[in-house]
Amino acid sequence: MFRPSTLLVIALLVIIWPASVLLAATDVNLNDPFEVNKLIGRGVNIGNALDREVELDDEWSFIVKDEHFQLIKDAGFNSVRLTVRWSTRTMDKPPYTIDPNFLKRVDLAVNSALSRNLAIIINYQNYFEFYKDPNGLKPKFLATWEQLAEHYKGYPNTLIFELLNEPQEKIGAGDWNALIKETLAIVRKTNPNRTIVIGPASFNGIAGLRFLSLPEDDRNIIVTIHYYEPYHFTHQGTSWTKDSDDWIGTKWTGSDAEKLAIKKDFNAVAGWARGHNRPVYLGEFGSNEKADMDSRVLWTKYVADEAVAHGFSFTYWQFTHNFMVYDRGSKTWVKPLLEAVIPPKQ
């Protein structure tokens, strides 16, 4: 039975905290990255929304709304990875203030996810200038994370930070390892117990894992990888990939050799994870719509099943647009792909 004082505290929490913080009670240890990784489970990326230079509702972009998170929840997903382009919404000079109106847009998405008991990962996406000039733009990058860490410090640990999507170009492995330590030190000042997602340099590729160096004294980290192999299959016909139209017609049939290639890759990741005692999260995998649907479904299901078999969580790329699992035009799920990542209940 509640005492009056208890009711008063709850009332104050409702007023002071975002509604999303008041989640259903759980026995999960949210300070354990392996447990948090289980909560990520089977998820989906929301890209081409808050990671665009400006928010539009057109062929290449869409405006993310509360209703999208209900669709995702109803479909059976456990989590969302929200890709965010902070660089164009942040001042270019000190104090590098984030546009408060844009931050409210991200808050809406975060609260929409958490209020439905969806874990949510927010990252730093599409910082193309940073990849080319990491030394010059490091102060802006670090200041952005300092603000985000302060802003979200009162949120539950089912809100997860991912420091940077696909470090590349002039951010080599050594540079990235040093930047990880600097960024973690800033985030940990206000979020000592929050789970952080970090992947290797070279586009979060599996080959980069051997060069990834994480602070041994910070165990609340999930390691992410991205997987798009075989690339000529997954990226056939993509507008941003040179000569990819030449690959159109490439199939994935689920042959023993094709399966073995994926299994070997995931076995290598699992071996690395065991050796370093780190949980693994497959942050992105998917195939472009120019590939034939039968191949896409076979490949997607096999990758998803192998990830689960190895104890990896995952977020499929992506909710809508050219790798889509949801068709905004018809307002329907692409059922074969949805069932490849979320098996129908028997």
Structure tokens at 276: 């370093």
Pick 194 or 345 by higher pLDDT: 194
* Mean per-residue pLDDT, 69-81: 98
- Domain assignments of the chain as residue spans, ordered by start: 25-341
For the full predicted model, state whether its pTM sits above 0.75: yes
pLDDT digits (tens, 9 = 90+) for 115-128: 999 999 999 999 99
**In the prediction, which pLDDT does 10 show?**
32
Q: Which residues pair with 281 in a beta bridge?
A: 224, 313
Q: Are strands 159-162 and 42-46 parallel, antiparallel or unpaired?
A: unpaired
**Pair 227, 282: CB distance under 8 Å:** yes
- Residue 58 has a pLDDT of 58
Plot region of 65 (φ>0 → left; ψ -120 to 50 → alpha; else → beta): beta
Give 200-241 pLDDT, tens digit per residue: 999 999 999 999 999 999 999 999 999 999 999 999 999 999
pLDDT tens for 124-146 read: 999 999 999 999 999 999 999 99
Question: Residue 239's pLDDT is what?
Answer: 92
Whether the predicted pLDDT of 24 surpasses 60: no
Closest CA to 167 of 218, 121, 205: 205
What is the torsional sign of CA 242, 243, 245, 248? negative
Q: Are 118 and 72 in contact (CB under 8 A)?
A: yes
pLDDT of residue 287 exceeding 80: yes
Percent of the chain with pLDDT over 70: 90
Identify which has the larger pLDDT, 216 or 3. Answer: 216
Q: Which has the closest alpha carbon to 279: 291, 268, 270? A: 270
Q: Kindly state the average pLDDT of the residues 145-163.
A: 98
Q: What is the pLDDT of residues 82-109, one digit of tens each?
A: 999 999 999 999 999 999 999 999 999 9
pLDDT at position 308 is: 98
Instruction: Please name the residue ranges forming H helices in the chain.
Output: 4-16, 33-40, 66-75, 100-114, 128-132, 134-151, 173-190, 231-234, 256-276, 293-309, 335-341
* Under 8 Å between Cβ of 179 and 135: no
323 alpha-carbon distance from chain centroid: 15
pLDDT band, very low/low/confident/very high, at 25 (cuts 50, 70, 90): very low
Q: Which of 34, 40, 39, 29 is nearest to 277 (CA)?
A: 34
For every residue of 140-179, DSSP letters joined together read HHHHHHHHHHHHTTTS-TTEEEE--SS--TT--HHHHHHH
CATH class of 25-341: alpha beta
What average pLDDT does the segment 47-69 reach? 82
Cα 39–chain centre separation: 13
What is the distance between the alpha carbons of residues 164 and 159, in angstroms, rounded to a whole number?
16
Q: What pLDDT digit, counting tens, does each position of 28-53 carry?
A: 899 999 999 999 999 999 999 999 87
pLDDT band at residue 345 using 50, 70 and 90 as cut-offs? confident
- List the Cα angle 243/248/253 in 5-degree steps: 130
Confidence of residue 185 (pLDDT cuts 50, 70, 90): very high
Q: What is the mean pLDDT of residues 307-333?
A: 96
Only one residue has tokens 């789970």, namely 195
- pLDDT at 57 (0 to 100): 63
